[in-house]
């Protein structure tokens, strides 16, 4: 942690180097991409996407790392989320797991107007709203999207990680890594991290379709990350 005042700042510094698309998911066959990194943001400030339940104005979930995969149409948009949560204690882990636990409530992703109008990256002047693929004109109101799918990667300190792996069973949407795997220099290039993230892709739940099977491919409507 040399050079960083806290573990949180070190985690944010490392995640800020992760690409716009979570490392390990690969590129879409079409060449298009609906993924955008929301947290940590390129610039300091508070105008970045957050998660909440319908009707709630105060209770917001702000993961250490958050990526949104925009999908659907302008009339019926949605988002898939990939989040990273660094947990400094077991109590912190329990609190963060509860925020993503299966529920009868719908989770919403809210994208503030300033974030949508800002450029994607320092070297890319394209405004984010154009990259979402679900907005046809410059937004004047926040983009609120129902969350279709959730995947969360939890980073635990070594002693907590070892104990968790020996006694707990993760939920299907959960992935766990040692804290050092996230805070390591160039963690986005780690083969182990990329392999774990790749397993979170929706297409990982389906048997690959042979390219020659045109009939099956025509009838398939599977949306892969």
Name the E strands within 157-223.
174-178
Quick one: three-class SS letters along 31-95?
A: CCCCEEEEECCCCCCCCCCEEECCCCCCCEECCCEEEEEEEECCCCEEEEEEEEEEECCHHHHHH
> Higher-confidence residue: 193 or 46?
193
Q: Which domain holds residue 177?
A: 7-205+213-219
Instruction: Check whether 209 has a pLDDT greater than 60.
Output: yes
Mean pLDDT, the chain, as a whole number? 86
Asked if the structure places residue 43 within a domain, the reply is: yes
Report the distance separating Cα 149 and Cα 145, nearest Å: 12
Reported as a pLDDT band with limits 50, 70 and 90, residue 222 is very low
Q: Is 37 exposed, middle or buried (0-12, 13-18, 19+ CB in 10 A)?
A: buried
Reading the block at residue 109, the tokens are 């992703």
Per the structure, how many domains does the chain have? Answer: 1
> What residues contact residue 146 under an 8 Å CB cut-off, 6+ apart?
78, 79, 106, 107, 108, 109
Asked if the structure places residue 225 within a domain, the reply is: no
How high is the pLDDT of residue 204? 77
Range in 74-78, 122-126, 140-144 with the lowest mean pLDDT: 122-126
Taking alpha carbons only, the member of 72, 76, 98, 73 closest to residue 87 is: 98
Asked if the structure places residue 148 within a domain, the reply is: yes
Asked if the structure places residue 224 within a domain, the reply is: no
Query: pTM to 2 decimals?
Result: 0.86
Return the percentage of the chain with pLDDT > 90, whole number.
57
Q: Average the pLDDT over 203-212 and give the result.
A: 77
How high is the pLDDT of residue 44? 61
Which pLDDT tens digit goes with each residue over 54-110?
A: 888 778 899 999 999 999 999 999 999 999 999 999 899 999 999 898 776 789 999
Instruction: Check whether 30 has a pLDDT greater than 50.
Output: no
> Higher-confidence residue: 41 or 190?
190
């Amino acid at each position: 942690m040399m050079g960083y005042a806290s573990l949180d700042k070190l985690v944010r510094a490392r995640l800020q180097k992760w690409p716009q698309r979570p490392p390990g998911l690969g590129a879409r066959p079409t060449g298009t991409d609906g993924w955008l990194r929301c947290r940590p943001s390129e610039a300091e400030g508070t105008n970045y996407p957050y998660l909440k339940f319908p009707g709630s104005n105060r209770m917001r979930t702000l993961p250490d790392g958050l990526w949104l995969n925009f999908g659907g149409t302008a009339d019926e948009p949605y988002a898939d989320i990939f989040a990273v949560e660094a947990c400094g204690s077991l109590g912190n882990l329990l609190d963060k797991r509860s925020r993503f636990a299966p529920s009868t409530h719908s989770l919403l992703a809210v994208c503030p107007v300033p974030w949508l109008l800002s450029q994607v990256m320092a070297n890319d002047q394209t405004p984010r709203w154009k990259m979402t693929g679900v907005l046809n004109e410059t937004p004047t109101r926040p983009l609120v999207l129902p969350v279709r799918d959730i995947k969360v990667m939890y980073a635990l300190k070594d002693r907590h990680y070892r104990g968790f792996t020996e006694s707990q069973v993760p939920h299907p949407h959960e992935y766990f890594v040692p804290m050092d795997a996230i805070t390591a220099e160039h963690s986005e290039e780690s083969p182990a991290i990329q392999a774990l993230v790749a397993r979170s892709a929706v297409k990982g739940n389906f048997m690959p379709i042979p390219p020659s099977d045109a009939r099956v491919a025509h009838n398939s409507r599977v949306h892969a990350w």
